[in-house]
Structure 1
Amino acid sequence: MVMKHPMFRLALVAALTLSPLTVLAHGDTTPKHGGIVQMTGETLIELVAGADLASLYVREDDEPIVSAEFTATMTIMEAAGKRQVDLTPAAGNRFDAPGVRLTRGAKVAVMVINKASQARSILSFVIK
């Protein structure tokens, strides 16, 4: 009987119509620094490969984190072999790896760890 009530139908249609907008609004994966963005849970990581610097930008719940409260490492797998690099906290939500050049086709695994809670976010990227 409730389904036949016009107001119930209108409310149901409105709820179903607006639900995708809520999902799309959360976790914007548009690169903000010209890099590659990946998301795991509530954490967004953008990897930026520069000429002689690799950087990470990290956001949780769509808010920038304070990089000094985290540690970050990258494992880089490329034709020349495999290497692990510790990143240094920089301004705001950025981590830097000076002197690191990421080549096209390299596979990069990134791990960011919250120093207080030890919560880990692990993502992988392929450099294009």
Structure 2
Amino acid sequence: MIRLALAATLTLSPLAALAHGDTTPKHGGIVQMTGETLIELVAGADAASIYVSEEDEPVASADLTATMTIMDAGGKRQVNLTPAAGNRFDAPGVKLTSGAKVAVMVVNKASQARSILSFTVK
């Protein structure tokens, strides 16, 4: 009986992991997750963008503030991201190079809760 319960638990474990959020990139970027907050970093040709979701639901960028710290061959710099449509933030003119380390901090305006994630650009 104990073996059956253990086997059932091990079999269902992958499903429990999926219940916390889908980490598949939806915009061609790199996805990281902390708690229930998921951030996708997209390195575009003329700008960098992030998309913010919680529990698989988009979070309106108007309800948040976001900053990005970039460490690359050019040094270290901090960029304030601009809220855009839906759950997107943009950093116009920011080009992320391969190997760059990027830290993103998102702050909920109402609760002041912070989510900080780090990425390595491929």
Mapping 1:71-82, distance limit 5 Å: 71-82=65-76
Consecutive aligned runs of 4 or more in structure 1 exceeding 4 Å deviation: none
Q: How many angstroms apart in 2 are the aligned matches of 1:21 and 1:79?
A: 41
Q: How many residues align?
A: 121
Q: How many angstroms does 1:62 deviate by?
A: 1.3
1:99 matches 2:99 = no
* Identity in percent: 82
Segments of structure 2 that go 5 or more residues without pairing to the other structure are: none
Mapping 1:33-112, distance limit 5 Å: 33-112=27-106
What CA deviation, in whole Å up to 9, does each residue of 1:74-118 have, x standing for no partner? 000011111100001101000001111011111000000000000
Segments of structure 1 that go 5 or more residues without pairing to the other structure are: none
Q: Which amino acid aligns with 1:99?
A: G
Using the size of structure 1 for normalisation, the TM-score is: 0.87
1:28 matches 2:18 = no
Using the size of structure 2 for normalisation, the TM-score is: 0.91
What CA deviation, in whole Å up to 9, does each residue of 1:16-66 have, x standing for no partner? 233431322321111000000000111000000001110000001111001
2:12 to 10, 15, 18: 18
